[in-house]
Amino acid sequence: MQVILAQPRGFCAGVTRAIDIVERALARHGAPVHVFHEIVHNQWVVDDLRSRGAVFVQALDAVPDHAVVVFSAHGVSRQVMNQAQARGLRTIDATCPLVSKVHQQAQRFVRQGRTLLMIGHAGHEEVVGTMGQVDAPVHLVSSIDDVQALALPVDAALAYVTQTTLSLDDTRAIIGALLARFPDIVGPEVDGICYATQNRQVAVRALAAQVDLVLVVGARNSSNSNRLREVAARAGVPAYLVQDEHEIDPAWLRTAPRVGVTSGASTPELLVQRVVAALGVLHPDPLTPVVQLPGVREDVSFRLPAELALP
């Protein structure tokens, strides 16, 4: 049996920064440090930080007055920011800088007098946060059907932004439908997409071309991990999302001499290596040496908030 690893995979710079922020906040302020929503969408990461004193909350009402609270990598609405300020909470913003860039784009389009559309998944924390960053109505678009259902004049001055965990491939058809229906619509530059989302989807597509089965290691509530599984499946191979090694079904391996493994942008490499080790145990034949495909080498890094930067 051959195991082939995608490159790149796993943590992106925004996730690394968000986890670093919680760890440094714990070191500087001591436990507990409250975190608004999961810092990133991975239960292993959340449980590890919880064991060290992080307290994850779904509402600011659960945070004591004047306590330290970290906003997750997905970003929050202005309402949440204002509520934290009114409560006297000591806030640390772990919003991914690429998400913050989307917030700025949305605000700029609204200042220009354009009606804003958000391409993304309903209920996702990033979408909720972005839509709450502007003082104007925002129309959520998740599919081509949603485009056709928009009750807006065809000559309306519109603009769109996209959820960062969606790649160019994810949004191409929706953007095409918007452009076809609304001539006066503008959007962000192509180089404004999340590099990590696009790189991982390109990598898993290359991986799927060389294997009989793809395993994506990631949380079920991780948007980018779910998209990776969908990309592999569209490439014509069976593809499964597993949170860890315990979710591998041995039946998947019976007709898969070549197994590809990748992971979402919020998945620790430790979980990938556990999956690889489990494949060696579950398969009746010994593993040949694990191969890592060539791919983009990411060297992106983001600065920490000033209050947590090392002296």
The count of other CB atoms within 10 Å of the CB of residue 193 is: 19
Question: How far apart are alpha carbons 210 and 207 in whole angstroms?
Answer: 6
How far is Cα 279 from Cα 226, in angstroms, rounded to an integer? 21
Q: CA 177, 183, 184, 187: dihedral to nearest 10 degrees? A: 40
Is 291 within 8 Å of 3 (Cβ atoms)? yes
Which of 126, 245, 247, 269 is an active site residue? Answer: 126
223 residue type, one letter: S
126: annotated active-site residue: yes
Which token pair is 142? Answer: 């998740």
Q: What is the dihedral of CA 247, 248, 249, 250, to 10 degrees?
A: -140
Q: Which residues are catalytic?
A: 126
